[in-house]
Chain A
């Protein structure tokens, strides 16, 4: 699916974006290495990847908090800093970044005072669900409550593009669900959202589109269904007759359409590119019982794609330029 053919002005346009850090010891590390990405109005995009994939660094460049080593960022046709000063882009950052001695309301008032034409303080607090906490000190708020406060701050300029950097890191399940419910309401109203996460579940349930990052590269980009399909084939499992199990496993291993065979007790689990053929063989020739065919989970797709990418990039030292 190529979204750039829609002929709309992209909300976000990254061209060959790269960022190199000097690590302790004087080595240069490419945290982001040639990311090209367009985000269209109204999209909800998940930036998914393991820790160290370059998600936060990418978003920092989108927000103008860090400047790229090479490549370009354009937010609604402007530079990131310009987009920030005109209130077109806003963000909920990872933990940290609040003054502990202010109350919740004071924090919102303080940040609101820096914008030319902010949404009313009460309005953003209501939408973020923190009206009841107004007079509480930030230091007395839980992680989830502080995250809601950051969300309220992000709503102040009424941005076209909302960036969330691992917004639910450190929250318990209930707080996480509640946070996404609030966020969903906002996205449904048509705001473009891009969020970084390493929770597959969040990407799956909340995003229209998943951009998978590993080692500073975009390794996959598409809808949730498309990313799933990237994991090669399906998994077939069946119970085997006890005394013949070893022989059957051996025969399965020699099939060209089988990529992996493993035993779990009496049950054989087969990864295959042609699940129908394997299932037929199991039922008809091999005496398999209770045959099951399962589509790969998003998680296995994720692992398959990121591991595949790791293999391409051996040895590791390539990532570290002296």
Chain B
């Protein structure tokens, strides 16, 4: 592990206060307003309470915002000539990808840690397993969205597009059952959108598949959703990398 390189990459992200606001501060604020401050937050929900449910949702939202931005900017950076500069060093492509993935995970950890700490000191309650497993699921699933950011960066080649991709996460968040509990037809539609499976999986240790309205959803729906979207983003990334090579 090249600590100098990774350290400087981390410093770049920390210095970008606007991004840090959207990655960490905003989701934490959402948790406090929509979760901790609400009367219903102490109501029971599966292996914990509603505050915990909202805490996991907001941590998940912060984590994907982080990974989308890092994945997207990595692609844009490479295409704007930094890739050529790195091509003049011994750094292998695979090490570069591993390094950027590592950075994305570290940055994703920031909103997760912050919001889980806030949850711990406010009203979030749950079994130890629910706390630990949900955090791991959030981090794991967030990697898929680093690929989503990468796809947007490769396709549109601009920082503005990556910003738009992060903005689009808000809409995906509503459709993905993150911000407002959905029900009926809307919930059925939601189950096909990219963030749905990810957040359902992250909440599973708490809810064990029970929705806020009391209905139960089998685990395979969330797993299928995540797998399908991971495959879609992955294939798109491979196709775009190939297209980029041919142009050289």
Which A positions have Cβ atoms within 8 angstroms of B?
Answer: 22, 63-66, 84-87, 90-91, 93, 95-99, 101-102, 106, 109-116, 150, 153-154
Knowing that A87-B90, A97-B82, A101-B16 touch, tell me 16 more A-B residue pairs with CB under 8 angstroms: A65-B248, A84-B89, A84-B90, A90-B88, A93-B81, A93-B84, A93-B88, A97-B84, A98-B85, A99-B77, A114-B86, A114-B90, A115-B89, A150-B85, A153-B88, A154-B88
Known: A65-B87, A93-B85, A96-B81. A113 touches B4 (CB 8 A): yes
CA A106 – CA B77 in complex, angstroms? 16
Task: Tell me whether A111 and B85 are in contact (CB under 8 A).
Answer: yes
CA A109 – CA B2 in complex, angstroms? 12
Task: Tell me whether A114 and B81 are in contact (CB under 8 A).
Answer: no
A96 to B: closest C-beta gap in Å: 3
Task: Tell me whether B85 and A97 are in contact (CB under 8 A).
Answer: yes
Residue of B whose beta carbon sits closest to that of A101: B12
CA A72 – CA B179 in complex, angstroms? 59
Task: Tell me whether A98 and B8 are in contact (CB under 8 A).
Answer: no
CA A106 – CA B12 in complex, angstroms? 10
**Total inter-chain residue pairs, C-beta < 8 Å:** 70
Residue of A whose beta carbon sits closest to that of B13: A101
A-B contact pairs, 21 of them (CB 8 A): A22-B246, A65-B84, A85-B90, A87-B90, A93-B81, A96-B80, A98-B82, A98-B85, A99-B77, A99-B82, A106-B8, A109-B4, A109-B8, A110-B4, A113-B2, A114-B2, A114-B5, A114-B86, A114-B91, A115-B90, A150-B85
A30 to B: closest C-beta gap in Å: 16
B15 interface hit (Cβ, 8 Å): yes
Chain B residues with Cβ below 8 Å from A112 are 4
CA A86 – CA B246 in complex, angstroms? 27
Chain B residues with Cβ below 8 Å from A116 are 90
Chain B residues with Cβ below 8 Å from A150 are 85
Task: Tell me whether B12 and A111 are in contact (CB under 8 A).
Answer: no
Q: From B11, B82, B89, give the contact of A114 (CB < 8 A).
A: B89
Chain B residues with Cβ below 8 Å from A115 are 89-90
CA A113 – CA B89 in complex, angstroms? 10
CA A98 – CA B12 in complex, angstroms? 13
A interface, by DSSP: helix, strand, loop or mixed? loop
Interface residues of B in 1-53 (CB under 8 A from A): 2, 4-5, 8, 11-12, 15-16
B interface, by DSSP: helix, strand, loop or mixed? helix
Residue of A whose beta carbon sits closest to that of B11: A106
A150 to B: closest C-beta gap in Å: 8
Task: Tell me whether B12 and A99 are in contact (CB under 8 A).
Answer: yes
B164 to A: closest C-beta gap in Å: 20
A104 to B: closest C-beta gap in Å: 13
CA A95 – CA B85 in complex, angstroms? 11
Task: Tell me whether A64 and B87 are in contact (CB under 8 A).
Answer: yes
A72 to B: closest C-beta gap in Å: 19
A124 to B: closest C-beta gap in Å: 14
A177 to B: closest C-beta gap in Å: 25
Task: Tell me whether A63 and B87 are in contact (CB under 8 A).
Answer: yes
Residue of B whose beta carbon sits closest to that of A99: B82
Chain A residues with Cβ below 8 Å from B86 are 114
Interface residues of B in 215-248 (CB under 8 A from A): 246, 248
Task: Tell me whether A153 and B85 are in contact (CB under 8 A).
Answer: yes
Task: Tell me whether B82 and A66 are in contact (CB under 8 A).
Answer: no
Chain B residues with Cβ below 8 Å from A96 are 80-81, 84
Chain B residues with Cβ below 8 Å from A109 are 4, 8
Q: From B15, B85, B91, B248, give the contact of A101 (CB < 8 A).
A: B15
CA A113 – CA B99 in complex, angstroms? 13
Task: Tell me whether A84 and B8 are in contact (CB under 8 A).
Answer: no
Chain A residues with Cβ below 8 Å from B16 are 101
Q: From A66, A84, A98, give the contact of B248 (CB < 8 A).
A: A66
CA A161 – CA B89 in complex, angstroms? 14
CA A114 – CA B11 in complex, angstroms? 17
CA A228 – CA B80 in complex, angstroms? 39
CA A153 – CA B81 in complex, angstroms? 14
Task: Tell me whether A63 and B4 are in contact (CB under 8 A).
Answer: no
Give the most central of B4, B11, B83, B84: most A CB within 10 Å: B84
CA A84 – CA B85 in complex, angstroms? 11
Q: Which 4 A-B pairs have the closest CB atoms?
A: A97-B81, A96-B81, A113-B4, A114-B89
